[in-house]
Amino acid sequence: MCGKARASCWSGPRISASWARLVTRELGQQLHKATTDFEVVGQPVRLPSELELTIFRIAQEALSNVRQHASDAGRVSVAFVFDQREVTLVVEDNGPGCLIAHPAVLLQQGHLGLAGMAERARLLGGALSVESAPEKGTSVILRVPATVGDWPA
């Protein structure tokens, strides 16, 4: 999935409808039982390259987690929400869900995915939250400032 996404839509990373279709199609091929959908809310704008790349990497890791831990999910959705000050990425599934430990605990246990996503978000002045419970699915929510001026120095 990611190799194709990088080659076709992310040369100079850009969140786009074509990337959305590619993610949905590729994820659908890997999760045969899942209905996949992608939504863009608000007016997409060109974001600073560093921000777009970070969002892409976090989306990539969240989708990898769906494949690894929720392969029996019946629904997977990816949404980007744009407003003037913030960009939000939401990756949700209705898979088996789980109890989520604090990122520091995950890191100590060798689970680098969620901890790495949280660290990437923090470096850009954003935040990553994960909502999950057994048999309730999982939502990964990234919120980052939309402008460089709002990033930490």
In a domain, 13, yes or no: yes
pLDDT on residue 129? 92
Q: Please state the rounded mean pLDDT for residues 38-61.
A: 82
In a domain, 152, yes or no: no
The per-residue pLDDT for 46 is: 76
Give pLDDT tens digits for 98-130: 777 666 676 677 768 888 899 999 998 999 998
- Evaluate if residue 40 carries a pLDDT over 90: no
Residue 48 structure tokens: 């600073």
Average pLDDT over residues 19-48: 72
Q: Give 87's strand partners.
A: 82, 144
Domain that holds residue 94: 2-147
Task: Report how far apart, in Å, the C-alpha atoms of 141 and of each of 4, 37, 43 are.
Answer: 24, 16, 19
- Please give the distance of CA 32 from its chain centroid, rounded to a whole number: 20
Please check whether residue 38 lies inside any domain of the structure.
Answer: yes
CA–chain centroid gap for 136, Å, is 18
- Which carries the bigger pLDDT value, residue 13 or residue 107? 107
**Is 110 domain-assigned?**
yes
- Cβ burial of 134 (10 Å; 0-12, 13-18, 19+) is exposed
Name which of 14, 12, 34, 10 is nearest 24 in CA terms: 34
Q: Is 117 helix (H, G, I), strand (E, B) or coil?
A: helix
Between 2 and 39, the higher pLDDT residue: 39
The single-letter DSSP state of residue 131 is E
pLDDT surpasses 90 at 63: no
Helix (H, G, I), strand (E, B) or coil at 98: coil
Instruction: Average the pLDDT over 28-54 and give the result.
Output: 78
In a domain, 58, yes or no: yes
Q: CATH code at 111?
A: 3.30.565.10
Number of domains in the chain: 1
Is the separation of the CB atoms in 71 and 31 below 8 Å? yes
Query: Per mean pLDDT, which of 1-10, 85-94, 112-121 is the most reliable?
Result: 85-94
For residue 12, pLDDT beyond 70? no
pLDDT band at 29 (very low <50, low <70, confident <90, very high): low
Alpha-carbon gap, residue 66 to 76, rounded angstroms: 8
> 153 in a domain, yes or no?
no
Q: Is residue 58 predicted with pLDDT exceeding 80?
A: yes
